[in-house]
């Protein structure tokens, strides 16, 4: 693989990446996707590199995907979940991480419910930090794997029309996707009920629509987001049934469109709310391909960041 370097030694958010960094990560992920298609899917790239996966919030895809990416790269890993740990005895995030780093860990992958948690650790520890989702702020590796999948399906990112649909207000996936797609020259529209769109979202350089059908007719790719009830302190819409009536997507909606679109969702899906089962499992859907690509993309991120350490 050619020797190119990221401009950063951490991945806190898409906001910190240059366009060249994103190209480099996507190109490197392409290489690792090929590696993952071989009978022997493991490479020795991160031998003698130790990664701590710290999950203070629930996760299926991100946690397993990082762990598998690390194993495929031959890294040594330790896994930490807040439940069952000394966090329940009052230990702080910083103390927890400093104790883990004392065991000679090189890089921390952090998921945390608080906005800014990854930035907080970056400023206070020597370790390299990868943000695996901080509250409603950013989820950079999700945006990278989404971009990788769009590029794979549409052959490019520049000029591709991407609609991000649903609960934009509580979504870190939305912000990271908007930042990345804008940097790469895609056209972005957000669509959802007014209560679930941030007030000044258009200042991020996106179109805004409250009309699902019109948005689906406009876009090449629909990235449908989960209604995040666990982050909603208020009632933002009358009921899941009513949300589904106006913003839910089923297979017949997709089949009736004048052109084919790519259907994405970061998971987990609320089946019957934002997507029907017939849509989620339809030929339009690339949801499991997103998950597959997540491993290659995370391998690329870890490989490139580890190279920064020894630089």
Among 60, 195, 229, 252, binds ligand CP (CB under 6 A): 60
Among 28, 45, 62, 228, binds ligand CP (CB under 6 A): 62
DSSP 225: P
Question: Least Å distance between CB 305 and ligand CP?
Answer: 19
Residue nearest to ligand CP (CB): 62
For ligand CP, which stretch binds (CB under 6 A), given 36-44, 123-131, 188-196, 262-270? 262-270
List Cα–Cα distances, 68 to 47, 62, 292, in angstroms: 14, 10, 11
Question: Least Å distance between CB 256 and ligand CP?
Answer: 28
CA nearest to 234, candidates 293, 278, 193: 193
For ligand CP, which stretch binds (CB under 6 A), given 19-27, 31-39, 236-244, 260-268? 260-268
How far is 258 from 63, CA to CA, in rounded Å? 38
CA nearest to 118, candidates 89, 85, 141, 143: 141
Q: Taking CB under 6 A as the rule, does residue 131 contact ligand CP?
A: no
Question: Least Å distance between CB 304 and ligand CP?
Answer: 21
Question: Least Å distance between CB 117 and ligand CP?
Answer: 15
Provide CB contacts within 8 A for 226, sequence distance 6+. Answer: 166, 167, 171, 265, 266, 267, 268, 269, 270, 274
Among 59, 96, 182, 232, binds ligand CP (CB under 6 A): 59
Residue nearer to ligand CP on the CB measure, 140 or 266: 266
What are residue 2's phi and psi, to 5 degrees?
-70, 150
């Amino acid at each position: 693989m050619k020797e190119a370097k990221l401009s950063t030694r951490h991945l806190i958010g898409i906001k910190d990446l240059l366009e060249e960094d994103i190209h480099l990560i996507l190109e490197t992920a392409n290489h690792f996707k090929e590696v993952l298609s071989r009978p022997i899917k493991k490479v020795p790239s991160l031998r003698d590199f130790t990664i701590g996966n710290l999950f203070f919030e629930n996760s299926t895809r991100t946690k397993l995907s990082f762990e598998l990416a690390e194993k495929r790269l031959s890294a040594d890993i330790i896994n930490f979940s807040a439940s069952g740990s000394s966090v329940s005895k009052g230990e702080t995030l910083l103390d927890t991480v400093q104790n883990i780093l004392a065991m000679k860990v090189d890089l921390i992958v952090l998921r945390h419910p608080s906005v800014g948690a990854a930035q907080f650790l970056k400023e206070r520890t020597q370790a390299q930090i990868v943000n695996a989702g901080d509250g409603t702020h950013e989820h950079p590796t999700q945006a990278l794997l989404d971009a990788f999948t769009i590029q794979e399906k549409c052959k490019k990112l520049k000029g591709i029309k991407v609609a991000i649909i649903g609960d934009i207000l509580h979504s870190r996936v939305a912000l990271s996707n908007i930042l990345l797609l804008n940097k790469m020259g895609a056209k972005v529209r957000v669509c959802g009920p007014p209560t679930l769109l941030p007030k000044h979202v258009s200042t991020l350089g996106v179109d805004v629509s409250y009309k699902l059908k019109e948005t689906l007719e406009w876009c090449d790719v629909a990235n449908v987001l989960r209604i995040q009830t666990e982050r909603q302190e208020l009632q933002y819409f009358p009921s899941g049934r009513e949300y589904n009536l106006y913003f839910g997507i089923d297979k017949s909606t997709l089949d009736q469109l004048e052109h084919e679109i790519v259907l994405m969702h970061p998971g987990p899906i609320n089946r019957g709310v934002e997507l029907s089962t017939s849509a989620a499992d339809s030929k339009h859907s690339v949801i499991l391909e997103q998950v597959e690509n997540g491993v290659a993309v995370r391998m690329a991120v870890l490989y490139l960041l580890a190279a920064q350490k020894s630089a």
